[in-house]
Structure 1
């Protein structure tokens, strides 16, 4: 296992640097636009532009990689991302930044496809789970650590964007110098949304609702924190705690879903997410307790997507799982593109707490749908349920890293 992990250390280091450089940009841009008097609806549209680019990139970037190879494509995608980040310092205007965020989403999708197909190439049945776990750690750790770069702009407003561009540029070096051969792109054609719904209605609806919730949070979570009177250091801490929480409860909740009817665990997790969101909305004037609740919120909401993937896999043949997981990633991404717009409308009408009131309502809708599905379909016997696996919500290629799909498919 150790030699296999050492063989991908350059890939893991690159993804950590990339997430450290890019993970805080949504927070930074939201705060800058709000300070400039931009409406929350327009700030939400910035988030929608990013997820639209991410979705399109997940569908189209593979063709570029196949044409020029992984290393050249990776370098091009990161260079484009770095350039668009620096371009943010040229002109702070909603339309311009929306275009840049679309480009950044498009570029990051290409980066994820390169990294994930490389990791899949290096993984064996014995090391696949460990490699996926370390990949997730690099993703979340980089994203969480990057939040603390927010405070760099107190004296020099352009400095956070410059720092992000530097980190992105440095992330190219380990890949450009790697001796790992470029693999063939793995994965399968994602299953259609109609077919996914017929196979697992709760799986696809749960993934979509999770996308709506996390898309809304990532786009406007910083505006919520700032509306509570938090400064940039406190806002960075709040955002990083939510991301940290996303790691803490993954294994305990996953194990529960392996032992009991997974639908009940999904419904319970949505219910818990909704309850915590409601409290965060009600306590919008109590920043002293928001950090703890943010940790709990992250711990619950981040488990929902892998729960939905595992539940969908319970109804699939082994050779269908990669395609289904890829389809669920796209469903999630579409939901994430819609979420910021609706969340922004809620905040405009209600105030900062409107973000979490909306998230609570979305979670309640998922709970209601899940309860209905329990009544019309028999549960999968526990011994036939597929093992829960922590998964990234990046591109369809990520499905090939899942040991439950790769070993059997």
Structure 2
């Protein structure tokens, strides 16, 4: 099944190791700030800085890569990221951490653009879906596996940062030693927000709300688990299960959306996420129930971004889809910038349960908006809908793989 991805195996190995070394840092930093007595607002600001760097980087790094080439640019981005990982252990100040997280986000955007544009170059039109699937498996598997490195903090507070830097440095090797030809950069111009809304109001609003939901969760999910009395190992398990649940439910929900009015599936995911958040926001549940509900939340919440992209594509011409998808990535990033601030405000007012109160409220608003849109516009017939394609929420370059395959 994944044989078309074999020529790009070095890129897949690089993203797996890189995500294993970096994917747990947001959780680790939130935990460290929580242990230091930082407020939920400060923790949210640090997380917001990362998503801000990711959004700015998505718009700016293409020029750097085009000027110096993929290999040298990738090496520069990862080297800086490795250095910042060690800096957290040395420069223990929230203000400095805000700056470091912005830098992390910017560098990670560069990494994603390098690998995704390179993967696009390696894949043929017939194998793009398989290549994208392999990329997503490598990305999310690395992110889920990396969460368990949080447990190293029991031995030494600085050890997780050191292991992160080691893994990021190792992630350089597959790319530095590859004999694959470097691709040429092609700029992608996203649609304007106004144009996106005119084409698909639910697509743009759903993406924005989903970005806020997952931005808040990534920033403060670990803080929630700690404040309800669970330990570090349970934080790692909870976060990993949310990511795994998000990956496992995307395909069945996508198949469902191909057969029925896609808006109903989007609405269902929003309302299901809101329903799952209700008990987490109202009660302190046993660890097993909390982890199980977290997995379900991840399943529905992770599916929303590719569903919204697919819904937007249902209303677009073929040549417009890459630009629209890249615009939706940036819209998601904008939501992710706001999400940690909303989540921290909720926790500041309501305590730990405030996080899921905010997440549930956002999901409910997304569902209500979708219901309104289902009355305002007729559905696209199921036979005219574009095929669902799972997509990572990374940079506009990921939309090239999805977009060209649909052609």
Q: TM-score, normalised by structure 2?
A: 0.98
Other-structure match for 1:406: 404
CA distance in 1, matches of 2:303, 2:285: 28
SS state of the match for residue 368, structure 1?
A: helix
CA distance in 2, matches of 1:408, 1:329: 18
Taking the TM superposition and a 5 Å limit, the aligned residue runs for 1:103-182 are 103-182=103-182
Other-structure match for 1:345: 345
Whether the aligned pair in 1 keeps the contact of 2:62 and 2:187 (CA below 8 Å) is no
Other-structure match for 1:57: 57
Other-structure match for 2:369: 369
Is there any run of 5+ residues in structure 2 with no aligned partner, and where?
Answer: none
Taking the TM superposition and a 5 Å limit, the aligned residue runs for 1:2-401 are 4-186=4-186, 188-401=188-401
CA distance in 1, matches of 2:288, 2:326: 40
State the 4+ residue runs in structure 1 displaced beyond 3 angstroms: 1-4
CA distance in 2, matches of 1:164, 1:269: 34
Whether the aligned pair in 2 keeps the contact of 1:187 and 1:397 (CA below 8 Å) is no
After TM superposition, give the deviation of residue 284 of structure 1 in Å.
2.8
CA distance in 2, matches of 1:229, 1:282: 15
CA deviation map 1:106-125 (0-9, x unaligned): 00000000000010001112
After TM superposition, give the deviation of residue 306 of structure 1 in Å.
0.2
CA deviation map 1:285-313 (0-9, x unaligned): 43331011111111110000000000000
Greater CA drift, 196-205 or 1-10: 1-10
CA deviation map 1:312-340 (0-9, x unaligned): 00000000000000000000000000000
Greater CA drift, 310-319 or 345-354: 345-354
After TM superposition, give the deviation of residue 251 of structure 1 in Å.
1.0
CA distance in 1, matches of 2:3, 2:357: 48
SS state of the match for residue 124, structure 1?
A: coil
Whether the aligned pair in 2 keeps the contact of 1:187 and 1:396 (CA below 8 Å) is no
CA distance in 2, matches of 1:187, 1:375: 37
Is there any run of 5+ residues in structure 1 with no aligned partner, and where?
Answer: none
After TM superposition, give the deviation of residue 408 of structure 1 in Å.
5.1
After TM superposition, give the deviation of residue 155 of structure 1 in Å.
2.7
CA distance in 2, matches of 1:6, 1:408: 22
CA distance in 2, matches of 1:123, 1:44: 38
CA distance in 2, matches of 1:304, 1:344: 23
After TM superposition, give the deviation of residue 375 of structure 1 in Å.
1.0
CA deviation map 1:155-206 (0-9, x unaligned): 3211000000000000000000101111112462010101000000000000
Whether the aligned pair in 2 keeps the contact of 1:187 and 1:322 (CA below 8 Å) is no
CA distance in 2, matches of 1:264, 1:391: 20
Number of residue equivalences? 407
CA distance in 2, matches of 1:33, 1:307: 34
Whether the aligned pair in 1 keeps the contact of 2:82 and 2:169 (CA below 8 Å) is yes
CA distance in 1, matches of 2:66, 2:104: 20
CA distance in 1, matches of 2:278, 2:125: 42
What RMSD over aligned residues (CA atoms) do the two structures have, in Å?
A: 1.1
Whether the aligned pair in 1 keeps the contact of 2:241 and 2:291 (CA below 8 Å) is yes
Whether the aligned pair in 2 keeps the contact of 1:28 and 1:150 (CA below 8 Å) is yes
Whether the aligned pair in 1 keeps the contact of 2:2 and 2:130 (CA below 8 Å) is no
C-alpha spacing 1:408/1:155, structure 2 compared with 1 (3 Å): closer
After TM superposition, give the deviation of residue 393 of structure 1 in Å.
0.5
Whether the aligned pair in 2 keeps the contact of 1:224 and 1:352 (CA below 8 Å) is yes
